[in-house]
Amino acid sequence: MLNSLFLKSKSKDIEPQEILLDDFAKKKEEEFGISKKRMEVPLSKRSAIVFMSCFFIMFFFLLIRSGQLQIIQGESFAAIAERNRTTISSMQLLRGVIYDRNMNQLVHNSPRFDLYFQRNELFLKERGHLKRVSEIIDVEKSDILEKIEVADSEQALIKESLDHEEMVLLQAEIVNLPGFSISSKIGREYKDGDIFSHVLGYIGKVDRETMRKNPDKYNIHDYAGKTGIEKFYEEQLTREGVRIKTEYDTSRNIKSEEVLDEKEEGVSLVLTIDSDLQRFITERTKEKLKEINAEKASIVVLNPQTGEILSMVSIPSFDNNLFQKGGSREDFSSLFEDRGGAFINRVTSSAYSPGSIIKPFLAVAALEEEIITPTKKIHSPGYILIENPWDSENPIIFRDYQAHGWTNIKEAIAVSSNVYFYSIGGGYDDQEGLGINRIKDYLELFGWGQRTGVDLPNEKEGFIPSPEWKLETIEDMWRIGDTYNTSIGQGYLSTTPLQVAASYGALINGGRLLSPYLLKEIVDDKGEVIERTESKVIKEGFVSPENLEIIKEGMKKTTTIGTARTLGNLSVDSGAKTGTTQISKPGHYHNWITAFAPYEDPEIVITIVIEEVEGIQPVTGPLAFEILKWYFNEE
């Protein structure tokens, strides 16, 4: 009895209350009908096999993956880990500087500091520090966020060219501004930026395409030439950057930096530009424009014996230092919205109707083709009449600006007789004309309608029309009136001031068409010349020296009895040709002149265009006189 009430286990005896609880549980099982069910069921053999198979498959997969990561990809992951500890970056070396022909320095290297943000997870989680950055650099927080979000690389440029106060404040607080860093670079400082900007150009952030083509030369922080000499001679002004190894601690603080290789810095350039002449022309031209209420002009001065460009002025201009000092949004907006086109180099990139500037080239063509002699005279009553195919009773009138009477070829150049050049260009009465095809051929011989090859980007070609072009483009036949208009530099014809100056150089130097150029020499850091530009002859011997001399004599008469008599007061003999071009703006004209001196052995040739001059007034002649007077007095 006692043994039935008290059962023993290995650990302890069964208490009486446990017997009562078991009895109670048994009754409940019977009540719910589960007394015959077992609460614990052993796994079946099949289930055990499936479970063990899954276990071994997972174990095998983890084993293979571990081997792949440690053995096959171990080196690459080790490299990634190393890059988290060290980085290899390139640093752009000092850019070569630029001098004028007298070794006056026009461009200086100067330190500059840019603010960057490194995009990472922190950017997604925390933005409170952006407010402080916004206060320091005076840029709206929303603008900073936009720059970070739209950046096409991991490093977003927040602000270029920090001023001294911004740089000091940021440097003092940079540890509390996660993600932000200050990059130190060598920028450019341009002397008299607005005077030389169209020649020198400027540098800016390197674009992705340039980086892709030169991965060892540029990184995302670097700068490259964007316009002018800076762009054209980018290869010479820069060299492959040095590589720097930077080691960080676990908090990404710099522990050490090491230069891995040494590179040569960019060479320096000596230009053909005379900076004193450039300044004088710029200042005097601005004064002249103000006097006549005009706004746009282009001036180029060449040495016709070599092709060297002594001065190149385009007005309006811009200060290229804005792109280095980080000008205000208003500064840039006013430049880009300027209808005058401050960024256009009018000497190389604007094409104009040449007006009477074309006439010496028609004259030499007529002499070469022997349709005129130096002594033959053509009468100018002030106009010519041609038959009107639509109204026979009302002939078409092509006017001269005045009646010149009987003139020979030299006098026609001097007084700029339209009737004379209508006659030798398109033919009139018993005078045979060249016709548009021969006119086109001779203009092309002198370089019109094609680039001069100047060492600047974005040069325009100009344009010489033809009957085929008109039929194809305008869907109209070529008419005699088109030839007459072309003969006096009007109609569809266009050319650049630089083309005109270079072609006049060939007229006055004996028939050598030279490619104009701006680079005189390349020098090393000690000033030693390592390369010198030689004159490039495009073509020569295509016209007879005797005919060229006749044309040259006609241009000398322009300064004594013709349209540029102001130049007759110079201390040296000179020659010139003027031109006035009709434009779409009523009552306004483009005013041209090309002049050269000294007459016997020309040293310089100058071409001036002043745009939209009100009325017929001689403005380029007096300006050319002042420039030539200054030049020869200075010489």
Class of residue 424 by CB neighbours under 10 A (exposed 0-12, middle 13-18, buried 19+): buried
Give the model's pLDDT for residue 259.
60
Residue 128 lies in a domain: no
The domain that holds 343 is classified in CATH as 3.40.710.10
Give the model's pLDDT for residue 5.
40
Residue percentage of the chain with pLDDT more than 90? 58
On whether the CB atoms of residues 202 and 227 are closer than 8 A, the answer is yes
Domain range for 304 is: 281-634
**Of 50-54, 190-194, 384-388, the least confident:** 50-54
Residue predicted with more confidence, 593 or 244:
593
pLDDT at 612 over 90: yes
pLDDT at 339 over 70: no
Max mean pLDDT among 15-24, 66-75, 171-180, 475-484 falls in: 475-484
pLDDT at 540 over 90: yes
On whether the CB atoms of residues 365 and 460 are closer than 8 A, the answer is no
Same domain flag for 529 and 493: yes
Give the model's pLDDT for residue 380.
94
Residue 30, both tokens: 């019977």
Residue 291 lies in a domain: yes
Could you give the CA distance from residue 439 to residue 443 in angstroms, rounded to a whole number? 6
Same domain flag for 424 and 321: yes
Give the model's pLDDT for residue 263.
58
Same domain flag for 367 and 493: yes
Residue 53 lies in a domain: no
Same domain flag for 399 and 418: yes
Within 260-389, where are the H helices?
Answer: 275-292, 322-325, 329-336, 346-349, 359-368
Same domain flag for 263 and 310: no
pLDDT tens-digit readout, 469-511: 999 999 999 999 999 999 999 999 999 999 999 999 999 999 9
pLDDT at 19 over 70: no
Residue 521 lies in a domain: yes
Could you give the CA distance from residue 113 to residue 109 in angstroms, rounded to a whole number? 13
pLDDT at 367 over 80: yes
Average pLDDT over residues 424-428: 97
Q: pTM above 0.85?
A: no
Split at pLDDT 50, 70, 90, the class of 1 is very low
pLDDT at 8 over 50: no
* 316: preceding bond cis by omega (within 30 degrees): yes
Same domain flag for 162 and 308: no
Give the model's pLDDT for residue 255.
59
Compute the C-alpha angle 19/21/25, nearest 5°. Answer: 120
Same domain flag for 537 and 464: yes
Give the model's pLDDT for residue 166.
86
Average pLDDT over residues 369-393: 92
In the chain, the number of structural domains is 2
Same domain flag for 103 and 194: yes
pLDDT at 124 over 60: no
Same domain flag for 194 and 306: no
273 phi/psi in degrees, rounded to 5: -65, 135
pLDDT tens-digit readout, 301-338: 999 999 999 999 999 999 998 887 655 566 566 666 66
**Which residues partner with 107 through β-bridges?**
98, 190
**Of 15-19, 170-174, 271-275, 554-558, the least confident:** 15-19
Give the model's pLDDT for residue 357.
98
Give the model's pLDDT for residue 10.
45
Residue predicted with more confidence, 479 or 57:
479
pLDDT tens-digit readout, 77-112: 555 555 556 655 555 567 899 999 999 999 999 887
Residue 485, both tokens: 């208009």
Residue 464, both tokens: 């010489």
On whether the CB atoms of residues 158 and 117 are closer than 8 A, the answer is yes
Same domain flag for 218 and 358: no
Split at pLDDT 50, 70, 90, the class of 119 is low
Could you give the CA distance from residue 112 to residue 167 in angstroms, rounded to a whole number? 10
Same domain flag for 185 and 295: no
Give the model's pLDDT for residue 283.
97
Residue percentage of the chain with pLDDT more than 70? 80
- Cβ neighbours of residue 399 closer than 8 Å, sequence gap 6 or more: 382, 383, 418
Could you give the CA distance from residue 589 to residue 586 in angstroms, rounded to a whole number? 8
**Of 385-394, 560-569, 614-623, the least confident:** 385-394
Residue 32 lies in a domain: no
Residue predicted with more confidence, 464 or 175:
464
Q: How many CB atoms lie within 10 A of CB 153?
A: 11
- Residue 16 host element (H or E): helix 16-32
Residue 20 lies in a domain: no
pLDDT at 240 over 70: no
Same domain flag for 303 and 447: yes
Residue 144 lies in a domain: yes
Split at pLDDT 50, 70, 90, the class of 541 is very high
Give the model's pLDDT for residue 81.
53
